[in-house]
Each structure stands twice: as structure tokens, then as C-alpha cells.
Amino acid sequence: MQDLKKVDEIVKNYSMTKTPLIYILKDVQKEYGFLSETLLTRVAKMTNIPLSEIYGVATFYSLFTTEAKGKYIVRCCNNAPCHVKGSKAVLDKIKEYLGLEMNETTPDGLFTLEFTSCLGLCAVAPVMMINDEVYGNLTPEKAVSILKDYKMKGLANA
């Protein structure tokens, strides 16, 4: 059974905010890793917002997830500017290094690989985002080097 005390605290932190739902969901996901049905139900109860509305918001925005993911979520931009500047080669190398296809998680739970829409950094394309950090001017080798750093950090903190 999940401890839901932290959800209650998060909701209370936004009690004076006019439209708090996205902030609440962002903080709950940061705390628990993903937005489980149990967590969404608790948010609904604490905010008096219908669960269907909360679930709609949680599934509409691509940065929210209702499923467990890796410690490091690798999001690769697949929009035209990144594609033109070589994102396919970068993505192929990332997939090879991680041994993943899109929307999969490594068996050790360290990495999940996803597409994302434009990150607004076309001037430094191709780009990827790992959790909240963005990396631009990628080459296949540079992308793998960055992932190796995260892997070392993730294994050291395990």
C-alpha cells in the first residue's frame, strides 16, 4: 500500500492557487515517479475535482505518465529540424546502446526511451532531454557519452 501522506501535503501546498491541478500532478509525479490510479484517486478526493477530469489532464500532457518508468527518462525530439540535422542517427545509436525500442524501459529500471514533441531548441538540434536536463548539438557519440554518465551516476546511487 502506498503512503499517501505526501500527496496530502502537496495538495495543501497549492490550496491558495487558483488552478492548481497541473502543479499538483507535477509534484506528485516527481515524488512518486508516476501517477498511479491510487495517487490520482487521492488527488481527486483531496481537491474535490472529479477523477475523470484529473485522469484526462494526466493522460493529455506527454510529460505526465500513469505507468512506472525508468529513473532517467530519455526523450528524443522527432520534429523536422532535429530530423534534418541527424536525429535519426542519434536515436539509432541511443537505441543500440540502451538495447531499447521506443517506450521501453531497461531491465535495471534506469532508462526509459520516449519521443517528445519540439523542445523549442531547434538552433541546437538535434536535442534530447533526460528528466529535466536538455542536451543539444548531439552526435551519436555525444549522446552515448551522456548516457554513460547517467548510467554511472544511477549505478552509484543504487
Give the CATH number for residue 110.
Answer: 3.40.30.10
Q: Are residues 148 and 80 in the same domain?
A: yes
CB distance 79 to 118 below 8 Å: yes
Residues 40 and 15 in one domain: yes
Residue 10, domain member (yes or no): yes
Tell me whether residue 67 is in a domain. no
Q: Give the tens place of pLDDT for each residue, 59-81.
A: 998 779 998 899 999 999 988 99
Which residues, 6+ apart, have CB-to-CB distance to 119 below 8 Å? 75, 77, 127, 129, 134
Query: Does residue 95 share a domain with residue 43?
Result: no
**pLDDT above 70: residue 15:** yes
What average pLDDT does this structure show over 25-54? Answer: 95
Note the pLDDT tens digit of each residue in 118-142.
888 999 999 999 998 999 999 999 9
In a domain, 65, yes or no: no
Q: Give the amino acid at 141.
A: E
Q: How many domains does the chain have?
A: 2
Residues 105 and 83 in one domain: yes
For 104, the domain range is 72-156
- 46 shares its domain with 84: no
The amino acid sitting at 151 is: K
Reading the block at residue 110, the C-alpha cell is: 534506469
Same domain? For 80 and 144 the reply is: yes
